[in-house]
Amino acid sequence: MRYALLGDIHGNTEALNTILEHVADSNIDKVICLGDVVGYGAEPVACLEIIRDMGCDCIAGNHDWAAVEKISIDFFNAYAKAAAIWTREQLSDDHKKWILDLPLTLSYDEFSVAHGTFHQPEAFNYIQTVFDAQLSFEALRQMSSRIGFLGHSHVPVAFFDSDPITYTLDPDIPVDSERTVIINAGSVGQPRDENNKASYAIFDTETRIATINRIEYDIEAAAAKIRDAGLPEILAARLYHGK
Which are the contacts of 94, defined by CB distance < 8 A and separation ≥ 6?
none
How many C-beta neighbours within 10 Å does residue 222 have?
26
| Of the candidates 140, 242, 231, the residue with the CA atom closest to the CA atom of residue 188 | 242
Cα gap 47→189, rounded to integer Å: 10
Q: Write out residues in the chain with pLDDT < 50, as ranges.
A: none
DSSP 219-234: HHHHHHHHHHTT--HH
Cα gap 106→115, rounded to integer Å: 10
Please list the residues that pair with 107 across neighbouring strands. Answer: 112
DSSP letter at 8 equals -
Cα gap 120→98, rounded to integer Å: 22
| H helices present in 39-191, as ranges | 44-54, 62-67, 78-90, 93-100, 130-142
Q: What is the pLDDT of residues 75-102, one digit of tens each?
A: 999 999 999 999 999 999 999 999 999 9
Assign 18 to helix, strand or coil. Answer: helix
pTM value?
0.95
CATH of domain 2-241: 3.60.21.10
The predicted structure's pLDDT at residue 118: 96
Provide the residue count of the chain.
243
The predicted structure's pLDDT at residue 59: 98
